[in-house]
Amino acid sequence: MNSCCVQPVEVIAADQHKSDENCCLIVEKTLAPTRAECPVSRTLSRKVQRRTLEHLLKPDKLDSLRNVQYYYCKEPTCNVVYFSNENAPFFSTDEAAVKVFVKDQGDDVPVCYCFNWTRARIKQQIRETEKSTAAIEIAREIKAGNCACDIKNPKGECCLGDINLFVKEVLAHMPERRSE
């Protein structure tokens, strides 16, 4: 098995473990196009596995799931989370069982859904220690086989790209340290 999650922790933490930009947890192979345009924002969106929707839609929305290929819209200002370019209703942020990181700027929103690194937790650690251990801790868990981003993260994929960007952003906005 070509498994990205067995790479060295440092490689995983840097989000450089995936080959073909696909995580080893992406196992559903379908013939549908790799990308499709969101019907609302026109954002080019990536395929998402059916299991992601099965776990992350509110239970009463599961009846609306159709046997089609779904895509995940990553546009921050668009309320569509999952859509299909076949004849099926789309699912909005209200219909997702969790808050979607990219579409909800709240501090209580997870960046990493598997190990519960919320924006608040990352910010707090950086305030207290001036650095973040989120990426390396997540990488260790991934390597230990404890990650389930395919069913816990709304985008259905590894969070480390988001983690690293968010950490960078928080560090960049930290008040200047007094060095003298």
For residues 23 to 42, the per-residue mask of contacts with Zn ion, x marking binding by CB under 5 A and - elsewhere, is: ---------------x-xx-
DSSP lists the bridge partners of residue 80 as 92
* Separation CA 89–CA 85 (nearest Å): 10
Which residues in the 78-117 window bind Zn ion by CB under 5 A? Answer: 78, 80
Output 37 or 137, the one with its CB closest to Zn ion: 37
CA 54, 57, 58, 63 dihedral sign is negative
- Nearest approach in angstroms of CB 118 to Zn ion is 24
Judged by beta carbon, residue 93 or residue 133, the one nearer Zn ion is 93
Three-state secondary structure string covering 149-160: HHHHCCCCCCCH
How many amino acids of this chain bind Zn ion (CB under 5 A)?
Answer: 8
Closest to Zn ion by CB, 91 vs 115, is 91
Question: What is residue 97's DSSP assignment?
Answer: S
The distance of closest approach from Cβ of residue 75 to Zn ion in the complex, given in angstroms and rounded to an integer, is 4
- With contact defined as beta carbons under 8 Å apart, do 102 and 76 qualify? yes
Question: Which residue do the tokens 């067995």 mark?
Answer: 6
Minimum CB distance to Zn ion smaller for 79 or for 125: 79
Residue 46-85 contact track with Zn ion, rule CB under 5 A, x = bound: ---------------------------x-x--x-x-----
**Nearest CA-CA partner of 142 in 27, 38, 15:** 15
In contact, 55 and 151? CB cutoff 8 Å: yes
- Residues of this chain that interact with Zn ion (CB under 5 A) are 38, 40-41, 43, 73, 75, 78, 80
